[in-house]
Structure 1
Amino acid sequence: MLKILVIGGGVVGRSIAWHLQRRGVQVVIVDPACAERAASWGNAGHIATEQVAPLASRAMVRSLPRRLFVRGGPLDLPPRMIATWLPFALRLLRSTQPRRFAAGEAALGSLLAEAMPAWRRLAAGLGAPDLLREQGHLVAWEDASSAARGRAAWQAANTGTARVGEIDANDRAILSVLSPNVVDAIRFSGSGQVADLDALAAAFDHALIAAGVRIERGTATIERRGAGVHVPGFDADRIIVAAGIGSRDLMAAAGDAVPLIAERGYHIRAAADRWPADLPPVVFEDRSIIVTRYADSVQVAGFVEFGRADAPPDLRKWERLERHVAALGLPITGPFRRWIGARPTLPDYLPAIGRSRRADNLYYAFGHQHLGLTLAPVTGELMAAMVLGEAPAIDCTPFDIARF
């Protein structure tokens, strides 16, 4: 029987393991004990099928000055970490060239077109179809001029299988109660939400363990062995790196240099006593935050901070999130639980999905930036096919790390 070792037990790694075990493969997952800090388990829960245009765009670069944290915006380039983010930023600028951006948009669109069907298959296979909510999401504004600009931008954008529409009377009534400051909003259809991240992790564990997948808590290291690699302490025919931001060092040990950066997000959670249970995620675009209701909590997520994953957190960002909640008048009260996690991001904002050209038994799936939750199931399907020698349903050439 083929033996596969998956390094990384986040939503991408578990999805890969789940798809492989269904094909009769012996799978072991090795994951650090501190996995609760992984972006998989602290994200906004949004299945963002509308995010077809890569964030590495000239429009993003033009908007950068007004989006900086020091000017009240959501994006931070900490001066103390310039040695980390400047080389990444220079590569990102090259990715915004029109030809490269268009190719990236087409490639990302091919993945996102299959994201929701893959989520349906995964949720059903886990025996937890209720984990997937296909209610779309809302985007709201507090200012009439920004609402006009935002509406026009979304209506002109490539949103793939998601569609922009008007809110109905019920949405309007709920928003007026949530925040008296909201002056306009739109509703997306075709996007979705995971109902609860803790429940998703539990459903994965139950299904994987029942199928005979072994989950080891620990840190894996990669060493060269002939034309391939191996992980000390594990017997595996093939190794898959799906370790989020930790993938950079693992791939380097195999000889693959990957320009992966930690794009850190800051979130706060509180009891959901007064937040409507059936309300889909709400983006308050003027403040660049998204609010999501989970089973027993409501989460406010925001900020993009480029730097090192192990850098101390910036307390000002959590404090600003709490001020946003107060300024919007949202029915969310403390005490707040604070979370920080590192999104693994590559300069062109495309994931890395493929087989190493430097080690014949090494595969990889990481760098999903803000779309890890969204793309996990389809990534699992593609990787399972690739590892078993089949042609993936989607052309993965654009996601080969050799592009760097």
Structure 2
Amino acid sequence: MTSSSASALVVGGGVVGRACALALQRDGWRVTLADADANGNAPSWGNAGHIAIEQTEPLASLATLRSAPRRWHAFGGPLDLREPLRLLPWVARYLRACAPSRFEAGHAALRGLLAEALPAWRRLAQAVDAPSLLQEQGHWVCWESAASARRGEAAWRGADIGTATLSSLGDAQRATLQSQLSVPVAGGLAFEGTAQIADLPALAQRLMAAFVEAGGVQRALRVQALRREGRHVHAVAADGARLDADLVLVCAGVRSRELMATLGLRAPLVAERGYHLQWAAHDWPALPPVVFEDRSMILTRFAGGLRAASFVEYAGVDTPPDPRKWARLREHVAQLGILVQGEPAPWFGARPTLPDYLPALGRSGRFDNLAYAFGHQHLGLTLAAISGELLADLCAGRPGAVASAAFDLERFA
């Protein structure tokens, strides 16, 4: 079997699924993409649009554990554990992943993947004829008090930020930011080498349009289960229809857990949920994304409006949203003095997160035609393009630009 004569079924049409489908298609696979998210509610399209190549240190770390108490939602922070008993097995795995030796191994693996993320995005944006959607203007981080600025700047200057660079906000940059706020800008950093997607709905549309234009088949259905026949698997749709392919690639985000479980494979994903508010009418200037670290909030100007995003909420994927989080985002925007008009559109979505905060990328050793790409946590948008390239290499038997052993799902066996 060669890719030029073989069929592939990609399960899940978020940004990772679409990038993988396009990469396989470029290799000659006949690709069908199955996805039930007709309204575009996946976290792929609800994030801050930030290509975060600076986040090389996995959040499964002792440093994250030490900072957790002051970050609880009840004390004004972004962190909320809504169903602690249900999440205990995942928390136990997370704590083991925070061991220094495991953190260092994960750090090295994630750093290598992120080093290739932006070049891969340039290639993907060019391939779908949408280079203008990728804006390489960096991002800013700021603080509102001298004490938090000292702590924050010291932390970032001591962190590994991969291929990104940073410097203090220049006088003109700081003055521009201060002119838009009613709180002081006590300090700030300008990151270079990071990027932003200018319009997430336009990106979603362009990725799918390019896929269909090249002969891909889009099916608006939900895959309910995977079934085995010896070392071969096929998918079963919610209506009972059987879907066969020479390659089945699972990119279903947090729903990948239940799909892999139907084959007896363990994918300990948790729904790590984020929230945003977006105003269509605003007076915010054309600045790079701005992180307000004292508030754990990122503000991004998109083509379609101004988006304020925050929160790390661990809950069931189908647990109803918490309106208090939207209320807090609204308070932050008002307290900052940001001029917005009208009512914002609210959103929440579930990031698919594994205990070690590394993605699962690979081919199954138990089934000949099964591959997977999920568990990208906060870095789904950032890592989508390189994930597609890596999966295409693995499925073609080629050595990839990044070593993939650290991302094998068997690490949780």
Query: Is this a same-fold pair by TM over 0.5?
Result: yes
| Structure 2 residue matching 1:21: 3-state secondary structure | helix
8 Å contact from structure 1 (residues 10, 35) kept in 2: no
Counterpart of 1:26 in structure 2 is: 30
- Contact 2:116 / 2:386 at 8 angstroms: preserved in 1? yes
Partner of 2:275: 266
Query: 1:269-348 counterparts in 2 under 5 A?
Result: 269-277=278-286, 279-348=287-356
Alignment partner for residue 6 of structure 1, among 7, 10, 16?
A: 10
Which of 364, 373, 378 is the equivalent residue of 2:381? 373
Moved more, 377-386 or 85-94: 85-94
Please give the secondary structure, in 2, of the residue aligned with 1:353.
strand
Q: Is the 8 A contact 1:228 1:358 kept in 2?
A: no
Aligned to 1:110: 112
Conserved 8 A contact 2:182-2:335 = no
| Distance in 1 separating the partners of 2:403 and 2:243 | 31
Deviation at 1:396, TM superposition (A): 0.5
TM, length-normalised to structure 2: 0.95
2:244 aligned with 1:235, yes or no? yes
The count of corresponding residues between Structure 1 and Structure 2 is 401
Asked whether the equivalents of residues 281 and 342 of structure 2 are also in contact (C-alpha less than 8 Å), the reply is no
Contact 1:254–1:358, Cα closer than 8 Å, also in 2: no
Output aligned runs, 1:355-366, within 5 Å.
355-366=363-374
Q: TM-score, normalised by structure 1?
A: 0.97
1:254 aligned partner, one-letter code: L
3-state secondary structure, aligned to 2:341: coil
How many Å apart are 1:224 and its aligned residue?
1.2
Map of 1:130 onto structure 2: 132
Amino acid across the alignment from 2:248: I
Gap runs ≥5 in structure 1:
none
Supply the distance in 1 between the matched residues of 2:348 and 2:280 (Cα, whole angstroms).
Answer: 18
Aligned residue in 1 for 2:405: 397
Of 383-392 and 47-56, more deviation after overlay is shown by: 383-392
Counterpart position of 1:204: 207
CA shift for structure 1 position 332: 2.4
1:147 and 2:149 matched:
yes
CA separation of 1:178/1:93 partners in 2, compared to 1, >3 Å: closer, same or farther?
same
- Over the aligned positions, Cα root-mean-square deviation in angstroms equals 1.1
Give, in whole Å, the separation in 1 of the partners of 2:45 and 2:375.
16
Q: Is the 8 A contact 1:241 1:365 kept in 2?
A: yes
Deviations 1:235-288 (A, max 9, x none): 3101000010110011111221111000000110002431113x1100000000
Output one character per residue of 1:171-203: Cα deviation in whole Å (capped at 9) or x when no partner. 112211221312211100010100110110111
Structure 2 distance, partners of 1:33, 1:150, is: 38
User: 2:156 & 2:126 partners in 1: Cα distance?
Assistant: 32
Of 337, 360, 364, the residue aligned with 1:352 is: 360
Which residue type is aligned with residue 409 of structure 2?
Answer: I
SS at match of 2:86: helix
> Residues of 2 paired with 1:306 and 1:15: CA distance?
27
| Matched residue type, 1:316 | R
Long gaps (5+) in structure 2: 237-241
Which of 207, 210, 217 lines up with 1:214 in the alignment? 217
Write the distance in 1 (CA, Å) between the matches of 2:342 and 2:318: 27
